[in-house]
Chain A
């Protein structure tokens, strides 16, 4: 910077001050022609430094946010932590009157996060089970076999799916998906797979883990498929050509040339989808049934970590209740941080540091 500036200033200063003169007069005082010129344009050294500090501050605020979330949640959940300790996450108790196993009883002050951990895991796992094969199929179609004119609109549609707010997914699920599953899909499941014990017909509402899993699958599909597409198009063309040259069919080419090379990135995309599914709130809250229980049947009502917070936080009255809900939030925060970091590392490993974009 300074060099550019001074070379510009030199010609003007030369008539009055020959280059040797400042030195002869002994000092930094008489470099002033250049200096005066610079000062007349405002002291950009200070402004420049200030600006870069300001920008650095903005960048550091991202760390600040993470630290802020962590400390606030820890502070607020301290009461629950000191009351229950680690057993908060796996204890259960028996109700003295009804002899039933209970987990969550705000009125009597018994709190255990176990049913919510279970609900989150089961619904997310169901969602992945449904979404992953579909997402990989879509990515294969888009990168390997789709005619050029369809590629743009289809990518746009997947983008749109990612942009729909979760409350609208929830609204649609409550009034369209749940009745559909209740009338047509659940009876079939009960008839075919009822013997496994995973599908019982004791819940006439249609709400429950299966409904939550299906709507979650629809919601995480775009994320998984767009990331899978990204890592698959990062596989070099020479790989495909080499496999084809060996006499492979198209499917063999995709399997051996593309999927095998992209598998780490695909796993990253799946984990990223898992991260979304774990934290998804509104749609799940609306269809999971919000009952803190652990049942073998996937058609029974349940509750997830995010759904119980959304459902009870605004109405929670006791400090312990609030604190317990915050502790669930803290657990959710830590888990999603770990899951997302893992996914980013995996995706970066494949696309070699190229920015991984979602949506």
Chain B
């Protein structure tokens, strides 16, 4: 019974990957990485602008989400340990993690796009950044809790101010784990489509301006997948393959670091 269900679970994964590689690899080409989409009806074209757009969006979101998330994690692990407030923050972060991404998109739409009256890369980055905060915060906290107390005490005994001790001793000791958490959050928002539909919106031309609508890889995949043209379907598969390769790389790296990280011995 249990073995059967495990096989049933593994089967879709194998099927998805096999299809992605089979369909994606056959439609990948040099043009895919170097050209922008052709006007509707013409064959060929690539997703270069979407790849660059994704990079811009992820840059903005990391700049927002990672510092705030790490800060929150430091508070939970170093200053608020055991307090009621910290418990509430932790709980809220977990709950916020489960809020659908499309709701985040709606909120950012009403906060930024509605007031500015135009779609922008910045608003998309904000939506993704907000989604990163809870994940980064919780993993940072978990990693900091693993740092032994003796390390903190040693730093303080040397007369180092508390803030320096936290930043250059505790956080530094836990940095492989914290980077892992950031990568995980990064990989998660890299594939998000729903919050971008009405914030970043998509753009079929080159754009790196944060104040303009911008294209993103998952957004382009979605638009191509629901289009009626076979040629665009092929591009969608290629895009999906590129996206999944990036994400699997990130996740495997995370697993590698986590399995032989410096923290193993410290805890």
Contacts and interface: CB of A to CB of B under 8 A. Distances in A.
A150 B130 CA distance: 37
B101 to A, nearest CB: 7
Contacts of B116: none
Given A51-B166, A163-B188, A163-B248, A326 B110 contact: yes
Contacts of A50: 163
Interface in B72-122: 72, 74-76, 78-80, 85-86, 88-104, 106-107, 109-111, 114
B1 to A, nearest CB: 6
Contact of B89 (A59, A172, A309, A329): A59
Interface in A152-177: 154, 156-161, 163-172, 174-176
Interface residues of A, number: 94
Nearest to B92: A62
Contact of A165 (B80, B107, B142, B218): B218
Given A62-B93, A336-B103, A171 B110 contact: no
A55 B110 contact: no
Nearest to A48: B162
Contacts, number: 266
A117 to B, nearest CB: 15
Say what secondary structure dominates the interface of chain A. Answer: helix
B194 interface: yes
A334 B184 CA distance: 26
Contacts of A56: 75, 79-80
A112 B138 CA distance: 38
A4 B156 contact: yes
Interface stretch (A90-98, A101-109, A275-283): A275-283
Question: Main secondary structure on chain B at its contact with chain A?
Answer: helix
Nearest to B97: A358
A133 interface: yes
B98 A275 contact: yes
Contact of B191 (A60, A66, A161, A168): A168
A41 interface: yes
B75 A333 contact: no
Given A137-B1, A282-B194, A344 B86 contact: no
Contact of A306 (B68, B100, B184, B240): B100
Interface stretch (A26-34, A71-79, A195-203): A71-79
Contacts of A272: 98
Given A61-B68, A73-B103, 5 more contacts: A48-B163, A167-B222, A172-B20, A282-B193, A310-B197
Interface of B: 1-6, 8-10, 12-13, 15-16, 19-20, 23, 67-72, 74-76, 78-80, 85-86, 88-104, 106-107, 109-111, 114, 130, 133-134, 137-138, 142, 156-157, 159, 161-164, 166, 184, 187-188, 190-194, 197-198, 201, 218, 221-222, 225-226, 233, 236-237, 240, 243-244, 247-248, 251, 255
28 contacts: A4-B159, A47-B161, A52-B162, A56-B79, A59-B86, A73-B103, A134-B9, A141-B2, A141-B3, A158-B9, A163-B187, A163-B251, A164-B191, A164-B244, A165-B244, A168-B16, A168-B20, A168-B191, A168-B244, A218-B12, A280-B100, A282-B218, A313-B198, A314-B198, A336-B99, A340-B98, A355-B138, A357-B138
